[in-house]
């Protein structure tokens, strides 16, 4: 498996999964409009951007088929591949140089083709960048994906939720530091993006997770004086500092639900240096599009699948649904063995994905990706007095506009739509017409 985005683009083009857009388009609304019109289709390569000489690519993670290709696996092996890599990380090789260091320049973010996607966006947003941070004292490295609002040539702000990067910021503050060094890498093969979205345990580097998925082919290189590591074959890298005591408004941003998230005070980030390949390719994803949903949701589908498998021996599939924005709704199919398996599966799913709001468990004959079959299972196999779970004031997702978006609480609902074992299975099967 190659280490860079360019070989993957060649693979996609040779298989007919890459569409080139040659018409001159603006990074303000026009690129995002074409991305939306093509959502869930081929990856897009824009080679004629107005006011920019660089190229832009989107949609590399836009379908599960494409992700499976990037992993070198079948679609039915994606969950196992992700979970195995998290449990068996492989430390990447570190090299002194790499293509990303071909050009090193002072920052000028306004010269990069960063997109303005929607009408109420406060400015250009970086949407496909990964952030690397580390605590050298405890040898803790974290790699995560964050949305980044560009403010000027050398400043941006980013949304930090209370997870691992937030913890590293708090650790830096407790030491009396007023900043935290970070690296931002853009233009990466999908396994690195999947790993950055995977939420590996704190202390496990997502680079090691990515390297496990890439058969040991990932190479890193150090930037700056703090020993920060970034992919050596990234297209573009920022060397930057999170200013821990300076905050600015971040948002509104269109997130997974297709609605605007609220405006919050978030840390100011100062960019000190930019590294890039000659003729770099800028990578972007459409907020709330299929690539956004799959990239964010797929690692949690894998977590849900694994968690449910821990309480119910036979799990067929898990799906974070399109209608649930790839985040808030899950459907899980199981081979039910005893009464109560469905509820145990529901509780395991909620535990595996704290942002999950509604979950449905169905039998293995139901296609979790087919909403008509799922609704039919609810109609014919669910009784609310026996199969309904309601959990009030639970931690949910701040992306849900109906939730308390300030403290992140919501009401969760679980639906056990598996057939009861007290009646013959034939009563719940669809009628067939013989050949």
Instruction: Note whether 296 and 197 are within 8 A (CB).
Output: yes
Kindly tell me the burial class for residue 366, based on how many C-beta atoms sit within 10 Å of its own C-beta (0-12, 13-18, 19 or more).
Answer: buried
From residue 416, give the alpha-carbon distance in Å to each of 310, 312, 344, 390, 425: 18, 14, 10, 12, 16
List 330's β-bridge partners, or say none: 320, 359
From residue 299, give the alpha-carbon distance in Å to each of 2, 80, 82, 328, 415: 22, 10, 7, 14, 23
List 121, 255, 261, 306, catalytic entry: 255
List 181's β-bridge partners, or say none: 241
Phi, then psi, of 104 in degrees rounded to 5? -130, 120
Q: What is the 3-state secondary structure (H, E, C) of 61-91?
A: CCCHHHHHHHHCCCHHHHHHHHHHHHHCCCC
- The CB-based long-range contact list for 211-216 (8 Å cut-off, 24+ gap) reads 211/89, 211/90, 211/91, 211/92, 212/84, 212/85, 212/88, 212/89, 212/90, 213/71, 213/81, 213/82, 213/85, 214/1, 214/3, 214/189, 215/1, 215/72, 216/90, 216/92, 216/93
Structure tokens at 275: 């590294």
Q: At what angle do helices 290-309 and 78-87 cross, to 10 degrees?
A: 70
Rounded to whole angstroms, the Cα distance separating 105 from 153 reads: 12
Question: Which of 172, 145, 320, 162 minimizes the C-alpha distance to 245?
Answer: 172
What's the sign of the alpha-carbon dihedral 88, 145, 98, 10?
positive
Pairing relation of β-strands 358-363 and 409-416? parallel
Question: Which of 291, 334, 278 minimizes the C-alpha distance to 100?
Answer: 278
Rounded to whole angstroms, the Cα distance separating 261 from 22 reads: 33
Q: What is the CA radius of gyration of the chain?
A: 22
- Measured torsion, CA atoms of residues 357, 321, 385, 391, in degrees rounded to the nearest 10: -10
76 catalytic per annotation: no
Instruction: Note whether 34 and 21 are within 8 A (CB).
Output: yes
**Active-site residue set:** 255
């Amino acid at each position: 498996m190659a280490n860079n985005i360019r070989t993957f683009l060649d693979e996609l083009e040779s298989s007919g999964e890459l569409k080139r857009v040659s018409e001159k388009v603006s990074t303000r609304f026009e690129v995002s409009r074409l991305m939306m019109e093509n959502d869930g289709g081929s990856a897009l390569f824009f080679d004629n951007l107005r006011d920019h000489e660089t190229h832009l690519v989107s949609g590399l993670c836009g379908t599960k088929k494409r992700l499976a290709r990037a992993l070198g696996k079948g679609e039915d092996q994606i969950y196992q591949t992700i979970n195995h890599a998290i449990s068996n990380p492989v430390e990447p090789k570190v090299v002194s140089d790499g293509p990303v260091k071909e050009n090193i320049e002072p920052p000028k973010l306004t010269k990069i083709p960063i997109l303005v996607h929607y009408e109420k966006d406060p400015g250009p947003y970086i949407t496909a960048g990964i952030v690397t941070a580390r605590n050298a004292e405890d040898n803790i490295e974290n790699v995560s994906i964050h949305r980044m609002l560009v403010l000027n040539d050398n400043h941006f702000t980013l949304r930090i939720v209370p997870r691992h990067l937030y913890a590293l910021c708090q650790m830096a503050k407790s030491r009396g530091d007023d900043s935290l060094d970070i690296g931002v890498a853009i233009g990466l093969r999908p396994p690195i993006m999947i790993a950055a979205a995977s939420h590996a345990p704190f202390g496990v580097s997502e680079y090691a997770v990515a390297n496990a998925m890439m058969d040991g082919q990932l190479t890193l290189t150090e930037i700056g004086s703090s020993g920060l590591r970034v992919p050596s074959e990234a297209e573009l890298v920022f060397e930057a500092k999170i200013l821990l005591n300076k905050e600015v408004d971040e948002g509104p941003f269109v997130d997974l639900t297709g609605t605007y998230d609220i405006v919050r005070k978030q840390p100011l980030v100062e960019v000190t240096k930019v590294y890039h390949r000659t003729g770099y390719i800028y990578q972007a994803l459409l907020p709330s599009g299929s690539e956004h949903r799959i990239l964010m949701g797929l690692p949690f589908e894998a977590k849900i699948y694994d968690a449910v498998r821990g309480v119910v021996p036979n799990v067929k599939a898990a799906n974070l649904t399109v209608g649930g924005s790839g985040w808030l709704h899950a459907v899980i199919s199981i081979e039910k063995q005893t009464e109560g398996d469905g509820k145990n599966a529901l509780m395991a799913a909620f535990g595996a994905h704290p942002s999950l709001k509604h979950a449905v468990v169905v039998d293995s004959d139901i296609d979790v990706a087919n909403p008509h079959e799922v609704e039919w299972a609810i109609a014919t196999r669910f009784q609310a007095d026996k199969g309904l779970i309601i959990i009030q004031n639970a931690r949910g997702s701040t992306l849900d506009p109906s939730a308390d978006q300030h403290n992140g609480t919501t009401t969760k609902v679980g639906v056990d739509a598996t057939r009861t074992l007290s009646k013959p299975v034939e009563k719940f099967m669809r009628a067939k017409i013989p050949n």
